[in-house]
């Protein structure tokens, strides 16, 4: 059997037929309706469980007359109510006021900022309503991009035949996720949903493949952490304690490692890139695998980014569903809105759209992720806290813009296909992202310390 | 009507040839096949398609809204053109 046949086993008709024969009864029983119902029931559980947990964890900042559990339950009910109202708005999208129809995403974010404004102008301890509102505002950033996809489905006329419970499964996904909705919204999921036994079998086999890959990358990460970063890794002990003891980039930029040789610093930045890719791949594969087991045969979150030959290709493959947020809610709206004004300046138009997404959108996404600071009105402090990340977003936007321009100007012409050319291009992409990650890595290092570390890599102290 | 559609299809095919990746025959791509998934174009090409439609058919996506999925196939793109023409 060839390697490709082995790795693409989920596409093999004989294996699909075998899977159908073995699990035919289960596949028949698990109709799309039942699969969705299982996920929707899980969503209700997650909604109440996670909301109560978040409210209890933040009870010191969410002071009010109700105790943690009661307040958590009320916040969960309020969030389900908001979700239902947004579902109704999406279902009746054409009857919404014209400004809302034209700017559904701005309207959605206005609701969030309206909640915040109300919190800022009232005193803590103003009553139960404020306690619940603070809880809603605290959790809203986790849901806002999911709500955004719900409205987008309405805008694109894709709500017909969908029930509230269908959308619920993406709002509080039992299959996991972060503030980024893996698998986007239900509109996207439903287009990849298996309708027949064979499609379900194929999707499940694709899910099993991702689970295997997830396991493989976990082992690779363990080996990497043991041999490169060590000590304290079980595998390192089994290998006789041998480790290169490369410092983590976060502690290097913070100057916690003393003076490291230059080659160690360079190694550390490349290791950080690989480690980040592995982290995203492991998490994303596990989540997408569950979706595929439930018959939603959607794209992976991470697809061989380390083999990307351009910055824009890497960005497309590294964290697909985050890129989709930036593309759907920042890039494309900006690009189309500027159609009339900048029709004769296509480069400027492209640049504005890229910066709206990779710089403004990326910064905004991470800013509202500082949920408690938002609730407390510490906007300037949050921006200051994110100053290094903002610079990273700027560099990222610049890199993507240049990469897109190069790709555009190349037209359909092929790149040089020699192995050496390819390796050089891949190395260029690795180096770009490794270098800009200096301003993205989690660390207590100041912006200046990161800049000093960057210049130090080139021998400029 | 059929002639008009044929002309639009020809114009679109000619345009896609200018932005497609090398090594893939556009004739081998089905009208309902995803242009990105089949490897004819990359996802960045959507902005080229948007600009093509704006320039040649006067479509104002700022007013109509842009659904990228509708530009994913040849039939989808032709559908967008026909909607605006209607």
What pLDDT, in 10s, does the model give residues A267-311? 999 999 999 999 999 999 999 999 999 999 999 999 999 999 999
Q: Are residues A181 and A251 in the same domain?
A: no
Q: Which residue has the tokens 């040839």?
A: B17
On whether residue A6 sits in a domain, the answer given is no
- Establish if A342 belongs to a structural domain: yes
Spatial CB neighbours of B28, under 8 Å, sequence gap ≥ 6 = none
Rg value, chain B, Cα: 12
Confidence category of residue B30, pLDDT binned at 50, 70, 90: confident
Residue A30 lies inside a defined structural domain of this protein: yes
Secondary structure of residue A296 in the 3-state scheme: strand
Q: Which of A343, A350, A414 sits opposite B47 (nearest CB)?
A: A350
Residue A459: alpha-carbon gap to chain centroid = 35
Q: Are residues A156 and A21 in the same domain?
A: yes
Domain presence at residue A3: no
pLDDT band at residue A163 under the 50/70/90 scheme:
very high
Separation CA A139–CA A366 (nearest Å): 14
**Closest residue in chain B to residue A403, using alpha carbons only:** B44
- Section A211-239 average pLDDT: 83
Say whether pLDDT at A54 is over 60: yes
pLDDT-derived band of residue A419, with 50, 70 and 90 as boundaries?
confident
Q: How confident is the model at residue A380 (pLDDT cuts 50, 70, 90)?
A: very high
A345: nearest CA partner in chain B: B51
Lowest mean pLDDT among A87-91, A183-187, A376-380: A183-187
Q: Which domain holds residue A18?
A: 13-191
Q: Give CA torsion, residues A75, A81, A86, A90, to 10 deg.
A: 150
Residues A71 and A109 in one domain: yes
The residue out of A159, A191, A223 marking a domain boundary is: A191
Tokens of A443: 């660390």
Q: Residue A231: which pLDDT band, with cuts at 50, 70 and 90?
A: low
Predicted confidence band at A240 (pLDDT cuts at 50, 70, 90)? Answer: confident
| A238 has pLDDT over 80 | no
How far off is chain A from B19, nearest CA to CA, in Å? 5
Residues A111 and A256 in one domain: no
**Cα distance between residue A439 and residue A424, in whole Å:** 24
* Residue A119 in tokens: 């919190």
Instruction: Determine the residue of chain B that is closest to A416 in CA distance.
Output: B22
Pick from A153, A171, A191: which residue ends a domain?
A191
Query: Within a domain: residue A1?
Result: no
Q: Bridge-partner residues for A296, per DSSP?
A: A193
State yes or no: pLDDT of A435 exceeds 90. Answer: yes
- Alpha-carbon distance of A109 to A144, in angstroms, equals 8
With beta carbons under 8 A apart, name residues in chain B contacting A156. Answer: 65, 67, 69-70
**Contact call for B50 and A191, based on CB within 8 A:** no
pLDDT in tens, B42-76: 777 888 899 899 888 888 888 877 888 888 899 99
Give residue A1's pLDDT band: very low, low, confident or very high (50, 70, 90): low
B8 against A109, higher pLDDT: A109
By Cβ distance, the residue of A155, A313, A346 closest to B51 is A346
Distance from C-alpha of A304 to C-alpha of A306, rounded to nearest angstrom: 5
Determine the average pLDDT of the residues in A26-51. Answer: 92
Answer yes or no: are the C-beta atoms of A164 and A202 closer than 8 Å: no
| % chain A with pLDDT above 70 | 97
Question: Does the distance separating the beta carbons of B68 and A328 come in below 8 Å?
Answer: yes
Q: What is the pLDDT of residue B61?
A: 86
Helices of type H across A125-233: 128-155, 164-171, 186-191, 197-224
pLDDT band at A232 (very low <50, low <70, confident <90, very high): low
Q: Say which DSSP state A358 is in.
A: I
Half-sphere exposure of B35 (CA within 13 A, CB side): 27
Using CA atoms, how far residue A442 sits from A214, A281, A389, A399, B57, in Å, is: 24, 19, 10, 21, 48
Tell me whether residue A5 is in a domain.
no
**Which pair of structure tokens corresponds to residue A83?**
């979700």
Mean pLDDT, chain A, integer? 91
A416–B contact, CB cutoff 8 A = no
The number of distinct structural domains making up chain A is 2
């Amino acid at each position: 059997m060839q390697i490709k046949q082995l790795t693409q086993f989920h596409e093999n008709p004989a294996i699909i037929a075998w899977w159908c024969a073995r699990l035919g009864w289960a596949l028949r029983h698990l109709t799309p309706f039942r699969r969705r119902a299982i996920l929707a029931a899980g969503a209700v559980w997650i909604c109440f469980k996670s909301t109560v947990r978040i409210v209890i964890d933040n009870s010191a900042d969410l002071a009010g007359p109700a105790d943690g559990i009661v307040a958590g339950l009320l916040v969960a009910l309020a969030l389900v109510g908001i979700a239902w109202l947004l579902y109704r708005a999406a279902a009746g999208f054409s009857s919404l006021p014209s400004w809302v129809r034209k700017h559904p995403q701005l309207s959605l974010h206005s609701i969030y900022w309206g909640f915040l404004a109300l919190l800022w102008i009232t005193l803590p301890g103003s009553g139960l309503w404020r306690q619940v509102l603070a809880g809603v505002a605290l959790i809203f950033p986790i849901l806002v991009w999911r709500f955004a996809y719900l409205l987008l489905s309405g805008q694109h006329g894709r709500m017909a035949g969908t029930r509230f419970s269908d959308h619920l499964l993406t709002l509080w996904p039992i299959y996991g996720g972060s503030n980024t909705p893996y698998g986007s919204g239900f509109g996207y999921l439903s287009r990849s949903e298996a309708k027949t036994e064979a499609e379900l079998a194929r999707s499940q086999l694709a899910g099993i493949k991702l689970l295997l890959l997830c396991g493989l990358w976990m082992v690779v990460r363990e080996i990497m952490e043991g041999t490169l970063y060590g000590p304290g890794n079980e595998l390192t002990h089994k290998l006789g304690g041998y480790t290169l003891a490369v410092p983590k980039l976060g502690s290097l930029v913070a100057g916690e490692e003393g003076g490291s040789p230059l080659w160690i610093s360079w190694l550390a930045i490349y290791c950080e890139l690989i480690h980040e890719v592995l982290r995203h791949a492991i998490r994303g594969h596990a989540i997408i695998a569950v979706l595929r087991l439930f018959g939603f045969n959607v794209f992976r979150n991470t697809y061989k980014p380390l083999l990307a030959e351009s910055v824009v290709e890497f960005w497309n493959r590294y964290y697909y569903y985050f890129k989709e947020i930036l593309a759907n809610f920042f890039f494309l709206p900006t690009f189309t809105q500027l159609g009339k004004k900048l029709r004769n300046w296509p480069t400027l138009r492209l640049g504005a759209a890229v910066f709206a997404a990779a710089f403004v959108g990326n910064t905004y996404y991470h800013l509202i992720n500082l949920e408690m600071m938002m609730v407390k009105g510490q906007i300037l402090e949050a921006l200051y806290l994110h100053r290094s990340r903002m610079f990273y977003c700027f560099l990222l936007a610049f890199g993507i813009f240049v990469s897109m321009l190069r790709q555009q100007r190349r037209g359909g012409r092929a790149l040089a296909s020699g192995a050496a050319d390819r390796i050089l291009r891949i190395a260029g992409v690795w180096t770009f992202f490794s270098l800009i990650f200096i301003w993205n890595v989690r660390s207590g290092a100041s912006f200046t310390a990161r800049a000093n570390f960057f210049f130090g890599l080139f021998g400029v102290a | 009507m059929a002639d008009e559609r044929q002309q639009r299809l020809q114009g679109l095919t000619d345009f896609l040839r200018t932005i497609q990746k090398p090594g893939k025959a556009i004739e081998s791509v089905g009208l309902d096949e995803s242009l990105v998934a089949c490897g004819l174009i990359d996802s960045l090409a959507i902005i080229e398609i948007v600009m093509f439609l704006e320039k040649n058919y006067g479509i104002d996506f700022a007013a109509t809204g842009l659904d990228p999925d509708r530009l994913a196939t040849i039939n989808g793109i032709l559908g967008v053109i026909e909607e605006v023409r209607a």
